[in-house]
Chain A
Amino acid sequence: MDPQVESQIAAWREFAARRAAIGAVDVAELEGHLRDQIDALVESGLDPDEAFLVAIRRLGRLDDLSREYAREHSDRLWKQLVLADTTAVRGPSRLIWALGFAVCAAAAIKIPALLGVGMDASGSGFYVRNAAVILLSFLALFFLVRRGTRPVTAIVTLSAFAVAAVVMNTYPFAAEGATQLLAGLHLFVVLWLVVGLAYVRDRWRSGPARMDFIRFTGEWFVYLALIGLGGGVLAGITVGVFAAIGLDPGVFVAQWLLPCGVAGAVVVAAWLVEAKQSVIENIAPVLTKVFTPLFTALLLALIVAGLIQRSLVPPDRGPAVFGERDLLIIFDLVLLVVLGLLLYSLSARVPDAPVGWFDRLQLVMVVAALAVDLLVLVAMIGRIGAYGASPNKLASLGLNLILLANLAGAAWLQLRFVRHRGRFATLENWQTAYVPVYLAWAAAVVIVFPPAFGWI
């Protein structure tokens, strides 16, 4: 082809590749189209130069094109919240909001302590009940303010927090009771999903929007972990340095630095996810590729160990891998982490990439998790049969059943996907459609469990 046209095409290609919504493969496809069109026009008698101009014009304005691509590929859109141009709303104003809410959150977690609640064991009941409301309400406010939401969403979000605060503080929980702890923990799940509502706004029915929030959750967690590492180093050095000059900063670290740091980090991590999306988007696929094999190995080792111990519904003495109550909760935790990893890798996957080794490995992981889940389930039912139900056991059992159903569906769809019988989109749909189940179960543990078990 004419060298001048060749260089024009190269310039166009570079320009198009800069659009976040248009992937490299799409640019190649569009370029092929452009060349076909130019060839045809040249054949009909146009100069190569003119042919290029006509072909470009018929392709459509790049802004419109990139908006159209973004509509179809919302995962790409997520990386760059602005569709067509690069004049984003970012800048200092968002940072100021984030820092403002972070400071408010840090203050809010400290105010009850200053009013005499006490951050040690004496006041722990208050914080068990209210930690979720305090920590997450400022995150919800941050999203409501920054993303300019409709009044309905704001009202629903804020009333959910208000209801949670009222329920947690009017229920006559027994001090140090199991239902209080369970309600406090499950409230985090409920309110996190309420934060999700503030995040996706009126698109809460849409699967891709829910996937955006799942993606956000994964990245937020990574940032929180990074901040936590830094905070741990800071706390350690603080203790060391002050101890060296004969002062004990233990109380300061435990009662100020730690709680305020966590409260602030919740909001700051959310801001970082939004502000630095292009940084993390390179890390997410790497993290999932590192940890998926490791967790698969862990699950397989667990199954083998459990079978060797051969004490799934154990007598009271002797080694009982799947029998001990504390351990059962650990297994639930392992399964939760595996589910989180699965969701995280789903959200980080390029949707139209062909099936690869990683998808097969994921199938192994899901099937292994399913097996562990079943083993734990058998042990749990055995324990409940032998010793009767308790709030802890029923909460673990419910969580286990929810995970079982999810993993079974995920395994089936993953199998179909790996065998080219199903599409990747159905995997995503399954997980996004499942989100309300978590909300319903967590809300039930918060609202129904305490009265049902007599507040113990």
Chain B
Amino acid sequence: MRIGKDLVAATATPLVLGILAEGESYGYAILQRVGELSDGQLEWSDGMLYPLLHRLERLGHVESSWASSPTGRPRKQYRLSASGHSVFAEQRQQWAVVNRALDRVWSGHGGSGAAIAFGSA
């Protein structure tokens, strides 16, 4: 299944904020985590993550610093700032509403579909 571009774009910010809410991380690890969380279904073009991180940094939602990886490579680490935490909390509430609404409408459809199937059987 291929997930539409707009949907990927819309979920990118809340996903990244959520992953950073779990703790400090860096680009590659964030992408790994996205893969894990979506069972590999949510495919980003890897490079696009970085402009997104920079945008969040400019808006003050994340902070960054250079550290080095275990193998000694320089690595830019990102963490949530205070305003990032509040934005994350807000987005979480908004998405919960969306989630609930979709769940309800689909469980309704699922129910009627089952009924029709049952009736025709």
Using a CB–CB cutoff of 8 Å, the interface residues on chain A facing chain B are 26, 28-30, 32-33, 35-37, 58-60, 64-65, 68-69, 71-73, 351-352, 423, 425
Q: Chain B CB within 10 Å — which of A29, A58, A71 has the most? A: A29
Q: Which residues of B contact A65 (CB under 8 A)?
A: 45, 47-48
Identify which of B16-24, B54-62, B89-97, B99-107 touches chain A.
B54-62
Q: Do A29 and B50 touch (CB < 8 A)?
A: yes
Q: Do B47 and A29 touch (CB < 8 A)?
A: no
**Does any Cβ of A come within 8 Å of B40's Cβ?**
no
Q: CA of A64 to CA of B46 in the docked complex: distance in angstroms? A: 11
Q: Do A72 and B45 touch (CB < 8 A)?
A: no
Q: CA of A36 to CA of B58 in the docked complex: distance in angstroms? A: 25
Interface flags for B4-15 (1: CB within 8 Å of A; 0: not) read 000000000000
28 chain-A/chain-B pairs, Cβ below 8 angstroms:
A26-B54, A29-B27, A30-B47, A32-B26, A32-B27, A33-B46, A33-B47, A36-B28, A36-B69, A59-B45, A59-B46, A60-B45, A60-B47, A64-B45, A64-B47, A65-B47, A65-B48, A68-B47, A69-B50, A69-B54, A72-B58, A73-B54, A351-B58, A352-B54, A352-B57, A352-B58, A423-B58, A425-B58
Q: CA of A32 to CA of B69 in the docked complex: distance in angstroms? A: 9
Q: Which residues of B contact A33 (CB under 8 A)?
A: 27-28, 46-47, 50
**Does any Cβ of A come within 8 Å of B33's Cβ?**
no
**Does any Cβ of A come within 8 Å of B76's Cβ?**
yes
Q: Which residues of A contact B51 (CB under 8 A)?
A: 68-69, 71-72
Q: Which residues of B contact A68 (CB under 8 A)?
A: 47-48, 51
Q: Which residues of A contact B2 (CB under 8 A)?
A: none
Q: Secondary structure at chain B's binding surface: helix, strand, loop or mixed?
A: helix
Q: Do A32 and B57 touch (CB < 8 A)?
A: no
Q: CA of A37 to CA of B54 in the docked complex: distance in angstroms? A: 20
**A-B interface pairs (CB < 8 A), number:** 63
**Does any Cβ of A come within 8 Å of B85's Cβ?**
no
A35-B73, A69-B51 known; A60-B46 Cβ under 8 A: yes
Task: Determine the residue in chain A with the shortest Cβ distance to B59.
Answer: A425
Q: Which residues of A contact B54 (CB under 8 A)?
A: 26, 69, 72-73, 352
> In the complex, how many angstroms separate the beta carbon of A427 from the nearest chain B beta carbon?
12
Cβ-neighbour of A60 out of B26, B27, B48, B75 (below 8 A): B48
> In the complex, how many angstroms separate the beta carbon of A67 from the nearest chain B beta carbon?
9
Q: CA of A33 to CA of B54 in the docked complex: distance in angstroms? A: 15
Q: Which residues of B contact A71 (CB under 8 A)?
A: 51
A352-B57, A423-B58, A423-B60 known; A32-B28 Cβ under 8 A: yes
Task: Determine the residue in chain B with the shortest Cβ distance to A23.
Answer: B54
Q: Which residues of A contact B28 (CB under 8 A)?
A: 32-33, 36-37
> In the complex, how many angstroms separate the beta carbon of B83 from the nearest chain A beta carbon?
10
Q: Do B60 and A29 touch (CB < 8 A)?
A: no
**Does any Cβ of A come within 8 Å of B110's Cβ?**
no
Q: Do A30 and B73 touch (CB < 8 A)?
A: no
**Does any Cβ of A come within 8 Å of B119's Cβ?**
no
> In the complex, how many angstroms separate the beta carbon of A22 from the nearest chain B beta carbon?
9
Q: CA of A28 to CA of B58 in the docked complex: distance in angstroms? A: 19
Q: Chain B CB within 10 Å — which of A30, A33, A58, A69 has the most? A: A33
Cβ-neighbour of B76 out of A32, A64, A69, A351 (below 8 A): A32
Q: CA of A8 to CA of B58 in the docked complex: distance in angstroms? A: 32
Q: Which residues of A contact B58 (CB under 8 A)?
A: 72, 351-352, 423, 425
Q: CA of A69 to CA of B55 in the docked complex: distance in angstroms? A: 10
Q: Do A30 and B74 touch (CB < 8 A)?
A: no
Given contacts A60-B48, A68-B48, 9 further A-B contacts (CB under 8 A): A26-B54, A30-B50, A32-B69, A32-B73, A36-B28, A65-B45, A68-B51, A69-B51, A352-B54
